[in-house]
């Protein structure tokens, strides 16, 4: 038996940097350093653990849709231990919305071949948290999402989803789409050996024509949503800051009373 896992990983602007929008109201990727979305490291980690815990022959492929620099995200995932990588890159992808992104990802996943897709719970830039559900809908396979615990055995994926009202045990047959939370287990750091090995691992590059997609189906023009304006939030007016010299709690209570919270 063999198990083919595709992990979707996104290349995002560093959240600790000065993120902002370009003139066309898409994310400015030139001015801020990018990296592998931290939450996708958990997805890579779970794929590697499933692989390590399996008697089957498991292949872990990492997949990204993004600009040229997005290769950095793939390298990071490869150095953690993934076997190979696919980079979907095309100038016409600029400004793609989530419906379009899920279309490109689904086409690439089908072309790559898969038994299991693993995604992060949300990207750290768009933070929509809907790509995994969209992939399941497009691929026509079960969605087993937001898992804080996941295991795969005999063609079945099981996991725990911690929701607001309850914690649920889920189960589905493969093929399936899974997403994992940051509660699923610390992601490993790439070892020196891993980093060296990653340099030799294959990275395939596909464009829209490889996926039999037309430019009109994606990009800013093909988007089903439109951003009309983006403005920086006005800086908060400097607040009052007091040093506690024995009366700090009382002073704070006075402030809260003044604001009618008490």
Considering only residues 128 through 147, tell me which ones interact with ligand FAD, judged by CB under 6 A: 128-132
Shortest distance in whole angstroms from residue 160 CB to ligand FAD: 19
Among 6, 39, 106, 146, binds ligand FAD (CB under 6 A): 39
230 binds ligand FAD (CB under 6 A): no
Give the Å distances, CA to CA, from 150 to 33, 58, 62, 119: 32, 16, 18, 12
Least distance between other proteins and beta carbon 254 (Å): 8
Task: Number of residues interacting with other proteins: please give it, by CB under 8 A.
Answer: 82
CB neighbour burial string for 162-181, b if at least 16 within 10 angstroms, e if fewer: eeeeeeeebebebbbbbbbb
Half-sphere exposure of 224 (CA within 13 A, CB side): 7
* Contacted entry of other proteins, ligand FAD, none for residue 10, CB cut-off 5 to 8 Å set by kind: ligand FAD
Query: Closer to other proteins at the Cβ: 140 or 199?
Result: 140
What residues from 208 to 247 belong to the interface with other proteins (CB under 8 A)?
223-233, 236, 239-244, 246-247
Structure tokens that stand for 208 in this block: 């829209």
CA distance linking residue 261 with residue 171, whole number of Å:
46
Q: Report the length, in residues, of the chain.
A: 262
Q: Is 97 in the site for other proteins (CB under 8 A)?
A: yes
Contacts of 37 by beta carbon, 8 Å cutoff, 6+ apart: 9, 10, 11, 12, 73, 120, 123, 124, 125
For the window 150-189, what string marks contact with ligand FAD as x by the rule CB under 6 A?
--------------------------------x-------
Name which of 20 and 56 has its Cβ closer to ligand FAD.
20
Helix (H, G, I), strand (E, B) or coil at 98: helix
Single out the segment in contact with ligand FAD by CB under 6 A; choices: 75-83, 120-128, 199-207, 213-221. 120-128
Q: Give the C-alpha separation, 179 to 177, whole Å.
A: 7
E-assigned strands of 95-142?
116-120
Residues that bind ligand FAD (CB under 6 A): 8-10, 27, 37-40, 43, 63-66, 96-99, 101, 105, 119-120, 122-123, 125-132, 182, 225
């Amino acid at each position: 038996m063999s198990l083919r896992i595709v992990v979707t990983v996104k290349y995002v602007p560093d959240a600790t940097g000065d993120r902002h929008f370009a003139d066309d109201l898409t994310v400015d990727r030139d001015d801020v350093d990018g990296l592998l979305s931290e939450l996708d490291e958990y997805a890579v980690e779970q794929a590697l653990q499933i692989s390590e815990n399996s008697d089957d022959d498991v292949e872990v492929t990492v997949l990204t849709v993004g600009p040229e620099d997005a290769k950095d995200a793939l390298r990071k995932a490869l150095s953690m231990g993934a076997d190979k990588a696919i980079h979907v890159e095309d100038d016409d992808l600029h400004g793609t919305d989530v419906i379009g992104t899920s279309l490109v990802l689904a086409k690439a996943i089908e072309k790559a071949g898969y038994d299991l897709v693993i995604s992060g719970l949300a990207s750290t830039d768009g933070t929509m948290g809907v790509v995994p559900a969209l992939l399941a809908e497009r691929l026509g396979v079960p969605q087993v999402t937001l898992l804080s615990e996941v295991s795969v055995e005999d063609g079945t994926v099981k996991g725990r989803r911690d929701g607001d009202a309850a914690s649920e045990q889920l189960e589905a047959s493969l093929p399936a789409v899974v997403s994992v939370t940051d509660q699923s287990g610390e992601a490993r750091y790439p070892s020196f050996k891993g980093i060296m090995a990653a340099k030799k691992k294959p990275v395939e590059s596909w464009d829209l024509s490889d996926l039999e997609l037309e430019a009109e189906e994606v990009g800013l023009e093909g988007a089903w949503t439109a951003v009309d304006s983006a403005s920086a939030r006005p800086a908060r007016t400097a607040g009052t800051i007091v040093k506690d010299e024995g009366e700090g709690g009382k002073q704070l209570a006075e402030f809260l009373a003044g604001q009618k919270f008490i």
